[in-house]
Amino acid sequence: MNKSLVVGNWKMNLTVPESTVLIEKLKKELVKLKAVEVVICPSYLDIYPASKELAESNVALGAQDLFYEEEGAYTGEVSPIALSHFVKYVIVGHSERRMHFGDTDKVVARKVEAAVAHELSPVICVGESLHEKEDGLGKVVVMSQLETAISHLTAAEIAEVAVAYEPVWAIGTGHVCKPAEAENMAANIRALIKALYGEKASEGVRVLYGGSVTDENAADFAKLKQVDGVLVGGASLDHEKFTKIAKAFEPKKK
Ligand code: PEP
């Protein structure tokens, strides 16, 4: 059974002092969690101080993105080498990166490859837009995004990956996906990984749901067989809500 994974994406929120306050509260409240791995992804600027603050805690650190090159003339970008000293996880292919910063499926694939090459575990985000959902293209879009994203990985490397199904229409909108739909897409994701890498790989990959997860609906996702955790945006900025979400995944009720 996979250990549940609950990831908080703080996006472009919180100053370093504000992050410190939130981290202190989370550390206290999450200290007893055993069956769930909690990860927070603050802004790049907060990664170094957060790495000190989270040392010897049971909360892991992740980045919200990375660049695929290791070093050089890439103004404003952050190297996987630099990140690998401080974080264990990295979100790749978030819909906000795809939408506002032009991250194509091929760019996402290079970022995933760079993450794994530097022993970072990528949390690969895939998900259809509202328009694509209404046109009945959800599965096709998600499968195509995922197949490209993992196309450079070997069967051994796929074990490091988590896949977050994040329907774009559910992110930050309050329109949460029906648990049955999330379960169905998670099963599709696992089936694709099985077809490409075999059964063992498909069982080991953690599949998350993301999109308007709150302390009120987290338990509905924790019950799902194919869903190993959640990627949380807005509610991860509130220590009480995020703690309740993490606790919903412990113990795993499957
Ligand atoms: C996200 O940022 O990945 C996300 C799911 O945001 P929210 O929880 O706010 O919908």
- With the most atoms of ligand 1 within 8 angstroms of its CB, the residue from 11, 166, 169 to mutate is 166
pLDDT at residue number 65: 98
pLDDT at residue number 32: 86
Residue 214 CA, closest ligand 1 atom number: 8
pLDDT at residue number 98: 97
Preceding peptide of 251 cis, ω within 30°: yes
Ramachandran assignment for 229, one of left (phi > 0), alpha (psi -120 to 50 degrees), beta (any other): left
Residue 173 CA, closest ligand 1 atom number: 10
pLDDT at residue number 120: 98
Instruction: Give the residues of the chain that fall short of pLDDT 70.
Output: 252-254
Which residue, judged by its Cα, is nearest atom 2 of ligand 1?
233
Task: Please give the distance, rounded to the nearest whole angstrom, from the Cα atom of residue 174 to the centre of ligand 1.
Answer: 9
Task: Please give the distance, rounded to the nearest whole angstrom, from the Cα atom of residue 171 to the centre of ligand 1.
Answer: 5
pTM (two decimals): 0.96
Cβ proximity of 162 and 205 under 8 Å: yes
pLDDT at residue number 1: 73
37 is catalytic: no
The tokens describing 2, both together, are 């996979």
pLDDT at residue number 34: 87
Task: Please give the distance, rounded to the nearest whole angstrom, from the Cα atom of residue 199 to the centre of ligand 1.
Answer: 30
Task: Please give the distance, rounded to the nearest whole angstrom, from the Cα atom of residue 235 to the centre of ligand 1.
Answer: 8
Question: Residue 145: CB partners within 8 Å, gap ≥ 6?
Answer: 93, 105, 108, 126, 127
Which residue, judged by its Cα, is nearest atom 4 of ligand 1?
233
Cα 183 to Cα 90: distance, rounded to the nearest angstrom: 23
pLDDT at residue number 251: 74
